[in-house]
Structure 1
């Protein structure tokens, strides 16, 4: 299989598109050129050629009638390649991913990673000095460098792959966390409290899973020597609480907190009333139940 993109200066969209294709397709002949004869003879062409035709494997986006996302945002080559080849790349980018999580992880990467490159490449979003697109473009050889553009492109692609691997790993972890939180919610005897077996990102699951009745999430600390009881914010990213912990607990620690809360092994309650903890799961569940009773 022969894959072609343009020669010369490269940008984040063509670099990441190539990195994705390497994972999706495995080995292929790769050429960077603007020679139309070579472009016409290729099996797949991206970011060059002036043609967008999925059936013919043509993925340019520099035409007047350029391909757009459903919301009207113009695609760059990475957006197009991720759309059509991302799911095939994910098993290698995220080893062990379950089939039922492919779409979730693909969507996460598209929305939170690929879209930003599309926007930057098409000039529809502000690009700061630390934007990923500029970091990739920094791999282009300086005017007095002896390195070839093709060699620099491959170096940039290795860099891009590393970033893509981490992004997919994070997206996969979030998808698994969402599944675990929703499973815990289904098993809970009280829809206002859920208990997790480990510390994991739960806020996204609360709102995407529409856990409207949930007030507290309970989970162990990193070394499992204590358990936390964390309040639920009213909306994503908020510092507020659906139900704050009792005023009489706030700012107290150890024995003083234990006496105020009516448990034997209390650890602390934060002064702002958004989190407290105890040394046993049983006591931490009791803290949540007491907080709910105090709030009724």
Structure 2
């Protein structure tokens, strides 16, 4: 319903947005930014308060007020009875997820200049939730990525702390005044929230910039790559009888996620899955070529079949000697871990991949 509201031609008068004051989090910082991406909210002022009388004056309220009612533009998730999730997901929504669920398609349509009902908008809508917004929802609702008991049972322990470099943690840091950069708006007895509101604006800008980078990358790189990878996947047996070598025609094509999805759609057995992907390093004619081993999953550093161990760490003539007559001279390198290698020519890269398959 709110999607329909978002895409209608709206009045130019700014709608007042409300959220709570005090300690702020990544979810409402992102929620406010996303709202302001819409024409109706581009110039909207923000009020930060927990006073119901103040919030009643707002057109849209996020993360405060104890009410979720899209018809009234109220998007809080702190109620005991709240259990709303994104379609086909289990993670409870935060204020960011609520705003995204109702307005995300309109935001994406505006960014891409596509109709809201366009299938590409739906693809991007799902991807941005999977890749970005869901983690914000989980963090704000205290939902761990892994089942702690199951993780403990495996005996797996982290090697280092990484919690301090997440976006929510960086937003959390902004709750404390930076003594080296205290801001342009100092607190005064008349304006006790001025500095806090300034730091919230920094947090909202940081979250919004990260969201827009994800959206722009998905729309301009990931989405166009889908058709390219699909065609290369279809032609894989033309590259090698095994069908386990895929050749991409362009440099910089984000292929991993698309490849795994295509394999799943085709219901490929483990013995049929892709092992190597070839692509040029640059767009210019005569570019060098790369041979990359396919990892076991999108996030894994372990390859399904790394390039042969004797090749690893070798370069140039030394690597040419190791590869033998089956591969023309011009080898460039093989990484010490065997996940990637390079050759000066496409033919050489193809020969390296073919030799690696049977080694």
TM > 0.5 fold call: yes
Deviations along 1:189-246, one digit per CA (max 9) or x if unpaired, are 243322212133322222122174323211112476311222334444252334x556
- Alignment correspondent of 1:86: 104
- Alignment correspondent of 2:196: 149
Secondary structure of the residue aligned to 2:163 is coil
Gaps of 5+ in 1: none
- Alignment correspondent of 1:200: 253
Secondary structure of the residue aligned to 1:123 is coil
TM-score (normalised: structure 1): 0.81
Measured in 1, the distance between the counterparts of 2:120 and 2:78 equals 33
Query: Is 1:15 equivalent to 2:29 in the alignment?
Result: yes
Q: Which moved more, 1:48-57 or 1:277-286?
A: 277-286
Within a 5 Å distance, the mapping from 1:67-146 to structure 2 comes to: 67-69=83-85, 71-91=89-109, 94-95=111-112, 99-125=118-144, 128-140=163-175, 142=177, 146=187
Measured in 2, the distance between the counterparts of 1:159 and 1:16 equals 8
Alpha-carbon shift at residue 52 of structure 1 (Å): 0.9
Query: Is 1:217 equivalent to 2:261 in the alignment?
Result: no
Asked if structure 2 preserves the Cα contact closer than 8 Å seen for 1:265 and 1:280, the reply is no
Q: Which moved more, 1:4-13 or 1:34-43?
A: 34-43
Secondary structure of the residue aligned to 2:291 is strand
Gaps of 5+ in 2: 1-14, 146-161, 188-193
Measured in 2, the distance between the counterparts of 1:142 and 1:206 equals 46
Within a 5 Å distance, the mapping from 1:174-253 to structure 2 comes to: 174-188=222-236, 189-190=238-239, 191-196=243-248, 197-210=250-263, 212=268, 213=272, 214-222=274-282, 225-236=287-298, 237-242=300-305, 245=307, 253=315
Q: Of the candidates 254, 262, 265, which is equivalent to residue 326 of structure 2?
A: 262
Secondary structure of the residue aligned to 1:31 is strand
Measured in 1, the distance between the counterparts of 2:195 and 2:309 equals 66
Deviations along 1:150-187, one digit per CA (max 9) or x if unpaired, are 33322322222222222323434333334422222224
Alpha-carbon shift at residue 75 of structure 1 (Å): 1.7
Query: Is 1:4 equivalent to 2:22 in the alignment?
Result: no
Aligned pair in 2 of structure 1 residues 282, 9: CA closer, same or farther (>3 Å)? same
Asked if structure 2 preserves the Cα contact closer than 8 Å seen for 1:20 and 1:81, the reply is yes
Asked if structure 2 preserves the Cα contact closer than 8 Å seen for 1:3 and 1:28, the reply is yes
Alpha-carbon shift at residue 66 of structure 1 (Å): 1.3
Asked if structure 1 preserves the Cα contact closer than 8 Å seen for 2:233 and 2:259, the reply is no
Measured in 1, the distance between the counterparts of 2:121 and 2:75 equals 23
Measured in 2, the distance between the counterparts of 1:159 and 1:232 equals 33
- Alignment correspondent of 1:33: 49
Alpha-carbon shift at residue 63 of structure 1 (Å): 0.9
Alpha-carbon shift at residue 107 of structure 1 (Å): 2.4
Alpha-carbon shift at residue 261 of structure 1 (Å): 4.0
TM-score (normalised: structure 2): 0.69
